[in-house]
Chain A
Amino acid sequence: MRFEAPTSLNAAIELLENEAGVVRILAGGTDVLVQLRSGQVEPDLIVDIKRIEAMQTITEEDGGFRIGAAVCGAELGGHAGVCKLWPGVVEAVELIGSTQVQGRATMVGNLCNASPAADSVPAMVAAGATARVTGPEGSRDIPVEKIATGPGQTSLGRAELVESVYLPARGVHSSDAYLRFIPRTEMDIAVVGAGISIEMDGNGICTHARVALGAVGPRVMLVEDAATALIGTSIDEAALEALAQAASSAATPIDDKRGTVDFRIKVAGVLARRAAIIAVQRSRVD
């Protein structure tokens, strides 16, 4: 097994391009190291991207923020600008692991690990975030929901990596929220996750909404019917009920060690409703 820690993006791409065997990209390493230790994977090459300076930074861009692939949860949580603009994304990232893990784990790593239960992903999808994918052919920006194609599977080409994620600018009366259900209070993995982003007009009517669910299908899903249930309403009780029903209807979970089909379907609606209420409250604070 070879371990490389390039200091430029081009060098990283070149390493990926020239390796024919099994490759793992290491940012925080909180997934890769677990896979290594359990014998799940025996990579021929590990490319550590933490030494690439651009990947370590959060940059303001067109009123939004570009977050480098190696930015850890603790840094993101400590960034006042991101916390103010996208509190739901930050709270989702901060749910990953423990305080110690927060010092390593990255949002982009969470995205590329392609777990349907990844906490930060529904929040990013709801936020309309885009991922900048870079490879030998150059860079392209794609919606984050296009990264994962199934559990552990991504749309990335073999020499491609996600360089950064962009969280866009947003209007005045807007906010977001993420909730997950776990049977404990921390150190657990989502049984259901719900991310919601809303924008209200001056009269308190929802003009824009995105709703994403985690752990209720093979990948995080954007639920358009759930967003439709909110748009054009004041997000009153009837809208919340319609939202919950749309979320539950969209859920296609499985029975497994973490929860049952019936439970996940019902709780998808419960969490979507609760997250919407929080997002509305936050949109008023501004």
Chain B
Amino acid sequence: MGKQDRDFKAVGTRPLRPDGVEKVTGRAKFGADLSAPGMLVGRFLRSPHAHARIRSIDTSKAAALPGVKAVVTGDSFDITKVSSGNHDTLANVMARDKALYEGHAVAAIAAISVSIARKALKLIEVDYEVLPHVTDVDEAMAADAPLLHENMFTANLTPKPTKPSNIANFYEFGHGDIEAGFAKADVIIERSFKTAATHQGYIEPHACLANMTQDGQGELWCCTQGHFMVRNVCADLMGMEISKLRVTASEIGGGFGGKTTVFIDPVALMLSKLAGKPVKIVMSREEVFKASGPTSSTSMRIKIGATNDGRLTACEGEFNYQGGAYADSPVQFGAMSAFACYDLEHVKTVGYDVAANRPKNVAYRAPGAPMAAFAVESVMAEMADRLGLDQLEFRLKNAATEGTRSSYGPTYNSVGLTETIKAAQSHDHYSAPLGANQGRGIASGFWFNFGGQTAVSLNVQEDGTVNVTVGTPDIGGSRASMGLMVAEELGIEYDNIRCIIADTSSLGYNDVTDGSRTTFSSGLALINAAKDAKAKMCARAARIWDIPAEAVEWKDGCVQPAGANAGEFEPMSFAEIAANADNTGGPIAGHHEINASGAGVSFGTHMVDVEVDPDTGYVKILRYTVVQDAGKAVHPAYVEGQYQGGAVQGIGWALNEEYIYGEDGRLQNAGFLDYRMPVASDLPMIDTVIVEVPNPGHPYGVRGVGETSIVPPMAAIANAVSQAAGVRMTELPMSPPRVLKAMDDAKGG
């Protein structure tokens, strides 16, 4: 395992989280928990059709109903003043000429009560011309498929297409000569795979409270992964100056990437503007499923060649991702990450981003990578079996290491894949015996991680405590991690630091909490802000001692004379300098603004044991172990939580979760009863192993850990189920009817 010379004091410990008490006592304020005087209720009217032209919308009867205070349709927003990059967002928030999926918002009203709002919605008359629809990715790519957008010409294709299609984008990655690589192979395996669309499944539905005043200023309280993004997008859609809209992020009941865009917020603001009163909107669970972001359904083809001794000679992949109504699939990341685990001479991937009559895609934890890994690692497992090689040895033999040219371009610096594979090899799980109808699956996975725009503040109080202000919503315990890094840097107690998520008027722009970036980027910025504060405190001490600022240094949490020549002074503690701030120049604060780069990539290797009921196809997860490189685990308990959470979401994706559409293009399972996420009793305790190969791009070696953990599970589980069932499973979810049919077909054939 990786080593770091540095001896950490705070980082690596497991203190309580600052938001814990409020959350476990029910006092934390989530999106729907805020109220305002005179507040109205906002409700949406949504398209019952998968694809329809909107001939007209008559809202006059609804507007005339007593108690209705505002009505909004697509025409309420002036698209000519909205930047082109937000046109799809606007059209998704409120349909304009066409409804592109069942559940697409077509109108909204604000009323004084829920019952009046419901009545008013029934009074809105929409004249639809129902159009043919398409929801399957392969069908949407066909030449004769119903066309969603007349102006969609596939980008990045040469020659440029002359006819519009549902394929929005084409991507290609790789290096070497793929045909030459396959020519060198002793064994070539090629297979096709399909996966169903899944939802992020956060427990908290989208909710917001908007308040526009008559002088054109606005406040918005909402549940989001990025309130600065919400502010900028909403200001653009509303035609407001950015500084006039203040957005505060509530506590968040899960996001997993799904809260990195806007759905209801601009509509609440517009309703509030028209009504002259605060407006609250809370989505129902059905609306969350039908109209907020699932991720892609996919269709993929993988071809891998290897020599008899287990060296990969060539890897090829074709990835077709259904990206919803506006083709927002993460296929680019899928094609980039598919073979990122391996050291390859010849590799090529292509990706197609496809529009279909489904909700607009939104990011879901390591967007695009889990599906690609399912396909690639399934073929890798099959190859190892075919070659008679141990699964982990085969991966180790081909693993990417420092200096490997990645399948998507850059050359890796220090990476931890081999360390995770070796840790898996030595784990007792790997050698534990299996019983009848049981199988063990292995898979590795990769995620890029991200840095991005970050601004933080750190205020030293007169009693020696510190307030830390960040702009990245805490979706996984990051406030605790921030406190630990500041404690480490300042040499003060964790309990003396309080971290909050500030509103958009309090800090410079912060990118969304996504890409596993927050502990890395906000942490990096805070370490620098702490250094900034320490430099100022050194100057204060120098001033008190009346010696040059260069003549003092920070050592062991105190300011001290830098050497014998500086003079004889007792070291001043952090608390002493803080207490004297008013006499030495006023408040002491540290700041840092950065567009962070250097986010280290992260690899993981998963092991899972399953048992398949031969008579029903039911899959029971018996044992699950996640091994992942964290660079440096700042708060190991929350790192383990991220590993476990990713594995659990992957188990759901692998076994039962799916968007099920009827012939009519309508979603049939818009609720947690029939959208089958795992429940606690479906799961074993998820074991975790934290590997630490420091990220050279972070002062403490931190890598993002939030996403990699959802990349290997579907492949690992598919490999285990395939072994237990005696037949290769190539389609997700591996629901009991599908597994039973595969077993019966295999027996019959």
Contacts and interface: CB of A to CB of B under 8 A. Distances in A.
Interface in A241-279: 256-260, 262-263, 266-267, 270
A262 B676 contact: no
Given A257-B674, A259-B737, A181 B679 contact: no
A258 B741 CA distance: 15
Given A263-B737, A267-B616, A186 B286 contact: no
Nearest to B667: A257
A184 B674 contact: no
Nearest to B613: A270
Interface in B194-208: none
Interface residues of A, number: 21
**Interface majority SS (helix, strand, loop, mixed), chain B:** loop
B655 A183 contact: yes
B615 interface: yes
Contact of B735 (A183, A186, A267): A183
A184 B740 contact: no
A188 B737 contact: no
B679 A183 contact: no
B656 interface: yes
A263 B740 contact: yes
Nearest to A255: B737
Contact of A183 (B286, B668, B676, B681): B676
B284 to A, nearest CB: 8
A262 B674 CA distance: 19
B618 A181 contact: yes
Interface in A182-213: 183-189, 191
B736 A183 contact: yes
Instruction: Determine the interface band of chain B, counting residues with CB < 8 A from chain A.
Output: 20 to 34
Contact of B669 (A181, A191, A257): A257
A39 interface: yes
A263 B682 CA distance: 21
Nearest to A42: B118
A38 interface: yes
A257 B660 contact: yes
A183 B674 contact: no
Nearest to B618: A183
B655 A186 contact: no
Contacts of B164: none
A270 B286 CA distance: 34
Contacts of B655: 183
Contacts of B681: 184-186
Given A39-B118, A267-B616, A270-B616, A183 B656 contact: yes
A186 B680 CA distance: 9
B249 to A, nearest CB: 28
Nearest to B662: A257
A262 B615 CA distance: 12
A46 to B, nearest CB: 16
A284 B16 CA distance: 54
Interface of A: 38-39, 181, 183-189, 191, 256-260, 262-263, 266-267, 270
> Which 4 residue pairs spanning A and B have beta carbons closest together?
A263-B737, A185-B681, A270-B615, A257-B668
14 contacts: A38-B286, A184-B678, A184-B682, A188-B673, A189-B673, A189-B674, A257-B660, A257-B674, A263-B737, A263-B740, A267-B616, A267-B740, A270-B615, A270-B616
Given A262-B737, A267-B740, A270-B616, 13 more contacts: A38-B286, A181-B736, A183-B736, A184-B679, A184-B681, A185-B681, A186-B679, A186-B681, A257-B669, A257-B674, A259-B736, A263-B741, A270-B615
